[in-house]
Amino acid sequence: MTSSGMMTYQQAQALLKKIVQAKNRDELQQIIADNISSCDGVFFAELEAMVARFRERGDESSARKLKELGDYMARLRFMI
């Protein structure tokens, strides 16, 4: 987290990489729990860009899963 309280694009990309590479559901849930409070507009913009990249590569399954996860995280983040 930066001193301004906003996530940088690099931090958002690093977190998304950890999310995508999670070995199982428990690890994914822990990553989300540890980071949800710092997820902001930058993170969600990067998530949408990653969804678009999956779609461009024809990987609709991964795009859909990541989009659904992003929607879940947004609900967690902004309804707490």
Is residue 3 domain-resident? no
The pLDDT confidence band at residue 6, using thresholds 50, 70 and 90, is confident
Please give the model's pTM, rounded to 2 decimal places. 0.87
Is residue 50 domain-resident? yes
Is residue 2 domain-resident? no
pLDDT of residue 79: 82
> If DSSP states are collapsed to H, E and C, what string results for 6-73?
CCCHHHHHHHHHHHHCCCCHHHHHHHHHHHHHHCCHHHHHHHHHHHHHHHHCCCHHHHHHHHHHHHHH
Q: Which domain holds residue 55?
A: 9-78
The pLDDT confidence band at residue 2, using thresholds 50, 70 and 90, is very low
pLDDT tens digits, residue range 25-80?
A: 999 999 999 999 999 999 999 999 999 999 999 999 999 999 999 999 999 998 85
Q: How many domains does the structure of the chain reveal?
A: 1
Is residue 66 domain-resident? yes
